[in-house]
């Protein structure tokens, strides 16, 4: 399995051979305890040496992130993953199928992982991103890289380098520019540290695809106790500064929109029934996912007073992840 994974990593890394100088400079910054933002296939990450508590503390500070919300640790090889987490059988099966890729696995942490990185938990989330610059940066640094999404806490995740600059400015030593993120929504987070697999956050690696590999059902509804295991789910996320509501079927909804007299924007896969100030119609759920966060940031500064988003109908695959992010963006608290 390891040779298969290595071949996949080398193939992806081949795409950024021309950027050696930039990558070396970024890796030096990481080794010196600095912060470097970098692209991944999902969203941009704000990275620091995962094994250096002071460097990780700087991430929390730059983002304004609550310190009990643990950070995903990014690796570029199976050997590196083995130095930070106990890889159980389920993890190995999923790694073989989905890494490098948008799947973060929550596993028992090994002593090498500082408490700061784990947010005080006994587990650590590990992922191997499918992005040439990300993999090359981790490899050149020689250490696992802790990286949350590179936005100020509570803002939509950034899917390009300009947005990272806008959000974090001087708080980050360097931003590696890898163009637009391919997936656009954050990775699937799967907890494999307990008795049964638990989906903590839906993403591009779907629950159905995970179930097919593991041959067991993956639970997605979190009880109060389980919620405590994923601190990030307690916080309001992906919130645009203009209120967002989910579209509902029926004349009553559209009458209320018209009666409000508010300037509104529309996001969806089909045409709205009313007459919006702005509308963005996506070709399919993949494009909706890829462009959602950018669209929210655009609409915030467009002068509209309310955003109406029509969730995709499919509740499987990327559709489930989209519905999750839209519901969170719409949540009042």
Which residues of this protein are in contact with ligand TXA, per CB under 6 A? 40, 42-43, 45, 69-72, 102, 104, 106, 118, 121, 123-125, 129, 147-149, 186-187, 189, 200-201, 229-232
Residue 283 tokens, joined: 């070709």
Binding status of residue 149 toward Mg ion by CB under 5 A: yes
Nearer to ligand TXA, 45 or 276 (CB): 45
For residue 268, the partner it binds in ligand TXA, Mg ion, none, with Cβ less than 5 to 8 A by kind, is: none
Q: How far is the CB of 151 from Mg ion (least distance, A)?
A: 6
Q: Whole-number minimum distance, CB 122 to ligand TXA, in Å? A: 8
β pairing state of 145-146 and 198-201:
unpaired
- Classify residue 72 by its DSSP letter: P
Rounded to whole angstroms, what are the CA distances from 291 to 160, 184, 272? Answer: 11, 6, 18
The residue among 29 and 182 lying less far from ligand TXA, judged by its C-beta, is: 182
Give 40 or 193: the residue with its C-beta nearer to Mg ion.
40
Distance CA 102, CA 106 (A): 13
Task: Write down the H helix ranges in 207-317.
Answer: 207-214, 224-229, 251-260, 285-300
d(CA 150, CA 159): 9
**Measured from the CB atom, is 107 or 280 closer to ligand TXA?**
107
Question: Of these partners, Mg ion, ligand TXA, none, which one is at the site of residue 43 (CB under 5 to 8 Å by kind)?
Answer: ligand TXA
Shortest-Cβ-distance residue relative to ligand TXA = 232
Binding of Mg ion by 123 (CB under 5 A): no
| Residue 272 contact, options ligand TXA, Mg ion, none, Cβ 5-8 Å cut-off depending on partner type | none
Per CB under 5 A, does 69 bind Mg ion? Answer: no
Residues paired with residue 188 on neighbouring β-strands, in sequence order: 103
Sign of the C-alpha dihedral computed for residues 200, 205, 207 and 211 taken in this order:
negative
CB within 8 A of 101, min separation 6: which ones? 41, 128, 129, 130, 204, 205
Options 17-25, 142-150, 167-175, 254-262: segment touching Mg ion (CB under 5 A)? 142-150
Element (H, E) at 308: strand 306-309
Instruction: Tell me how far, at minimum, the Cβ of 328 lies from ligand TXA, in Å.
Output: 11
* Among Mg ion, ligand TXA, none, partner that 125 touches (CB below 5 to 8 angstroms by kind): ligand TXA
Give which of Mg ion, ligand TXA, none residue 121 binds (C-beta under 5 to 8 Å, depending on kind): ligand TXA
Beta carbon of residue 203, minimum distance to ligand TXA (angstroms, whole number): 7
- Comparing CA positions, the residue from 75, 71, 111 lying closest to residue 91 is 75
Distance CA(164)–CA(150), nearest Å, equals 6
Query: How many helices (H) and strands (E) in the chain?
Result: 13, 13
Residue 313: phi and psi, rounded to 5, are: -75, -35
190 sits in which H/E element = strand 188-191
Nearer to ligand TXA, 13 or 106 (CB): 106
> Which CB, 76 or 104, lies closer to ligand TXA?
104
- Nearer to ligand TXA (CB atom), residue 27 or residue 247: 27
Nearer to Mg ion, 152 or 269 (CB): 152
Count of residues in contact with Mg ion, rule CB under 5 A: 1
**Cβ of residue 270: shortest distance to ligand TXA, in angstroms?**
28
CA 277 to CA 285: how far, in whole Å?
A: 23
């Amino acid at each position: 399995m390891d040779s298969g994974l290595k071949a996949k990593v080398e193939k992806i890394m081949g795409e950024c051979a021309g950027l050696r100088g930039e990558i070396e400079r970024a890796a030096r910054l990481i080794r010196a305890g600095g912060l470097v933002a970098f692209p991944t296939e999902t969203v941009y990450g704000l990275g620091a040496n995962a094994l250096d508590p002071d460097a990780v503390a700087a991430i929390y500070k730059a983002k304004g992130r609550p310190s009990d919300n643990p950070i995903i640790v990014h690796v570029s090889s199976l050997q590196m993953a083995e130095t930070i987490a106990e890889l159980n059988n389920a993890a190995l099966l999923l790694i073989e199928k989905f890494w490098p890729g948008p799947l973060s696995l929550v596993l028992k942490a090994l002593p090498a992982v500082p408490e700061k990185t784990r947010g005080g938990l006994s587990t650590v989330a590990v992922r191997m991103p499918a992005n040439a610059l990300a993999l090359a940066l981790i490899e050149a640094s020689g250490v696992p890289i802790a990286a949350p999404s590179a936005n100020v806490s509570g803002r939509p995740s950034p899917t390009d380098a300009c947005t990272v600059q806008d959000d974090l400015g001087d708080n980050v030593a360097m931003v590696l520019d890898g163009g637009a993120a391919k997936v656009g929504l954050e990775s699937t987070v799967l907890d494999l540290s307990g008795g049964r697999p638990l989906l903590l956050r839906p993403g591009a690696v779907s629950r159905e695809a995970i179930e097919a590999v593991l041959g067991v059902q993956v639970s997605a509804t979190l009880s109060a106790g389980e919620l405590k295991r994923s601190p990030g789910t307690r916080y309001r996320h992906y919130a645009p500064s203009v209120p967002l509501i989910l579209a509902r079927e029926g004349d009553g909804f559209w009458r209320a929109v018209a009666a409000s007299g508010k300037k509104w924007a529309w996001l969806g896969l089909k045409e709205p029934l009313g007459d919006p100030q702005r509308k963005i119609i996506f070709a399919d759920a993949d494009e909706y996912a890829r462009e959602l966060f950018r669209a929210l940031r655009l609409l915030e500064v467009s002068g509209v007073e309310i955003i109406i988003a029509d969730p995709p109908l499919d509740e499987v695959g990327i559709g489930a992840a989209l519905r999750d992010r839209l519901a969170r963006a719409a949540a009042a608290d």
